[in-house]
């Protein structure tokens, strides 16, 4: 019975790992996006989670890719360390207020509330589409991140 349970657990873990892997289409897109970001001089690299991490205007960002039907969901994310004594409720209200001003941007704390993230996500079928909107999406994340810092520092 123990062996059966252990085998079941390994099968379950393998199933989750397989679901987390990117398709060949997404891997090709990630490679093309990384090359494009490199051509802009942002020194991208693939981090331990498989995301494209890069530095823009002195700040760290990453791009997360995830398969979604016949497209790839691509997110540009900037995270902030939360080392304040603000309550979870206050942080939730702060994120909510920013999201009301910037409707298409996600602003949320991680489960532990140690990081707050600003994220723009869209579905793309080609790397060319990602490249076309990259500068605009990066600018939006930067603007919202600056607004978050401004409100956050006023608390």
**Domain regions of the chain by residue span:** 22-153
pTM of the model: 0.80
pLDDT tens digits for range 124-147:
999 999 999 999 999 999 999 999
22-153 CATH pick, 3.30.210.10, 3.30.1460.10, 3.20.20.140, 1.20.1440.230: 3.30.1460.10
pLDDT tens digits for range 80-121:
888 778 889 999 999 999 989 998 899 999 888 888 999 999
Tokens coding 47: 């981090």
Could you please report the per-residue DSSP string of 100-131?
Answer: HHSTTSEEEE-TTSSEEEEEEEEEESSHHHHH
């Amino acid at each position: 019975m123990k062996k059966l349970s252990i085998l079941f657990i390994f099968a379950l873990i393998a199933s989750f790992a397989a679901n987390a892997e990117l398709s060949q289409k997404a891997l090709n897109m990630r490679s093309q996006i990384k090359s494009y970001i490199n051509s802009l001089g942002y020194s991208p690299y693939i981090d331990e989670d498989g995301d494209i991490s890069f530095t823009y205007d002195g700040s760290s960002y990453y791009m997360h890719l995830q398969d979604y039907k016949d497209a790839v969901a691509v997110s540009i994310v900037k995270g902030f360390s939360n080392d304040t004594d603000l309550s979870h409720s206050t942080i939730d209200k702060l994120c909510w207020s920013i999201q009301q001003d910037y409707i298409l941007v996600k602003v949320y704390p991680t489960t532990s509330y140690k990081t707050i993230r600003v994220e723009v996500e869209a579905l793309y079928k080609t790397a060319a589409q990602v490249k076309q909107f990259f500068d605009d999406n990066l600018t939006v994340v930067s603007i919202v991140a600056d607004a978050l810092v401004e409100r956050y520092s006023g608390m």
